[in-house]
């Protein structure tokens, strides 16, 4: 079974600063996917960024980027130029790969990110 660990229950930074959220995972599989999801107070899960394990290049989506260290089983999220709208719970998630695609997600406990004005 896979496990996902987020060691920062809460983080607070000033608007426009850069913040990094940590995530480590444990698996014996070689082919899998990793995700960061954002859950604002509305509780709608929003995909922030995804990474395929077989890709060495770190994924980037505008202000969001990851540092994927496969050997260390680490998958941190960096948010640059943070904005008030980034305030939310952030979940790191793991999915095994089956023939049909990504399986159901295993989530970490989440990090509550607060962006201060």
Q: Contact between 41 and other proteins (CB under 8 A)?
A: no
Q: Contact between 23 and other proteins (CB under 8 A)?
A: no
> By CB under 8 A, which span of 10-18, 40-48, 54-62, 73-81 interacts with other proteins?
40-48
SS3 per-residue string spanning the chain: CCEEECCCCEEEEECCCCEEECCEEECCCCCEEEEEEEECCCCCCEEEEEEECCCCCCCEECCEEEEEECCCCEEEEEECCCCHHHCEEEEEEEEEEECCEECCCEECCCEEEEEEC
In the complex, minimum distance from the CB of residue 76 to other proteins, in angstroms, rounded to a whole number: 18
Q: Contact between 52 and other proteins (CB under 8 A)?
A: yes
In the complex, minimum distance from the CB of residue 37 to other proteins, in angstroms, rounded to a whole number: 8
In the complex, minimum distance from the CB of residue 104 to other proteins, in angstroms, rounded to a whole number: 4
Q: Contact between 43 and other proteins (CB under 8 A)?
A: yes
Interacting residue with other proteins among 3, 7, 44, 80 (CB under 8 A): 44
Please, what sign has the CA dihedral across residues 87, 39, 104, 107?
positive
CB contact set of 54 (below 8 Å; sequence gap of 6+) = 31
Q: Which residues bind other proteins (CB under 8 A)?
A: 33, 37, 42-47, 50, 52, 91, 95, 97, 100-110
């Amino acid at each position: 079974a896979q496990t996902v660990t987020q060691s920062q229950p809460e983080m607070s930074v000033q608007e426009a600063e850069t913040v990094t959220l940590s995530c480590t995972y444990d698996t014996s599989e070689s082919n899998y996917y990793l995700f960061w999801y954002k859950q604002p107070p509305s509780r709608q899960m929003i995909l922030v960024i995804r990474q395929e394990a077989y890709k060495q290049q770190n994924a980037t989506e505008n202000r969001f980027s990851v540092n994927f260290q496969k050997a260390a089983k680490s998958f941190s999220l960096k948010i640059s130029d943070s904005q008030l709208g980034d305030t939310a719970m952030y979940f790191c998630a793991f999915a095994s790969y089956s023939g049909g695609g990504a399986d159901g997600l295993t989530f970490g406990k989440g990090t509550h990110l607060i962006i201060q004005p």
